[in-house]
A and B are shown apart, each in its own frame.
Chain A
Amino acid sequence: SAVISQKPSRDICQRGTSLTIQCQVDSQVTMMFWYRQQPGQSLTLIATANQGSEATYESGFVIDKFPISRPNLTFSTLTVSNMSPEDSSIYLCSARTEGGYTFGSGTRLTVV
């Protein structure tokens, strides 16, 4: 099955700044997804990122706050903009692959 490399694995950021998270898949995939997982909670889909089109955001998430890039079929980035402590969470990327849906190991973000 596909392998997804996600970085950084963790970061501590000042409020008001932005962080860009990168996801690299070892094979070409059409659909990539970005999730947020708050402490002790389940995964909530932020947006679907398809190559060649704008990302589709779920209710409660907006492009200005979470801009996404998908420049090719193996790579995507998620930016968490103008961060506040409420953005402290784990962010996970996922790709739809032949074996199902594969996840990166996540980025643990703490905003201080």
Chain B
Amino acid sequence: GQQLNQSPQSMFIQEGEDVSMNCTSSSIFNTWLWYKQEPGEGPVLLIALYKAGELTSNGRLTAQFGITRKDSFLNISASIPSDVGIYFCAGQDNQGGKLIFGQGTELSVKP
């Protein structure tokens, strides 16, 4: 079945540093989504990407939909302690509209 490979698995950074994480797939997706999940909560949508090559920003977050439609990256600039959490990429299945999730990137920010 379709799988997403997300990397890195975890990151430990200093406050103020920039962060980059990415997802790749062997399959083409129509939509890429990036979510953040905090303990005891469901994932919250950060950025949605709908077109190949699209680059979208949401505050300090920037994400791009790869031109091949098989990859996406998320950048966080000038990280702050509240950026701590697990970040998931997700691709929308072409056939049924369901989401396939990456393994997640756990981000820790040291003040």
By a beta-carbon cutoff of 8 Å, the part of chain A in contact with chain B is 1, 4, 6, 31, 33, 41-45, 48, 56, 59, 92, 94, 96, 99-106, 108
Q: A6 vs B40: C-alpha distance in the bound complex, in angstroms? A: 12
**Which residue in B42, B44, B45, B103 is a CB contact (below 8 Å) of A42?**
B103
Which DSSP category, helix, strand, loop or mixed, fits chain A's interface? strand
Number of A-B residue pairs having CB atoms within 8 Å of each other in the complex = 53
Of the A-B pairs whose beta carbons lie under 8 Å apart in the complex, a sample of 15, sorted by A's number, is A42-B102, A42-B104, A43-B43, A43-B99, A45-B99, A56-B96, A92-B43, A94-B99, A99-B48, A100-B45, A101-B33, A103-B35, A103-B44, A106-B41, A108-B40
Question: What residues of A have a CB within 8 angstroms of the CB of B45 in the complex?
Answer: 1, 99-102
Question: What residues of A have a CB within 8 angstroms of the CB of B33 in the complex?
Answer: 100-101
The distance from the CB of B105 to the nearest CB of chain A, in whole angstroms, is 11
Give 3 nearest A-B pairs by CB, closest first.
Answer: A103-B42, A43-B101, A42-B101
Q: When A101-B33, A103-B42, A105-B40 are in contact, do A42 and B88 touch as well, CB less than 8 Å? A: yes
Q: A16 vs B90: C-alpha distance in the bound complex, in angstroms? A: 34
Question: What residues of B have a CB within 8 angstroms of the CB of A100 in the complex?
Answer: 33, 45, 48
Residues A101 and B42 in contact, CB atoms below 8 Å apart:
no
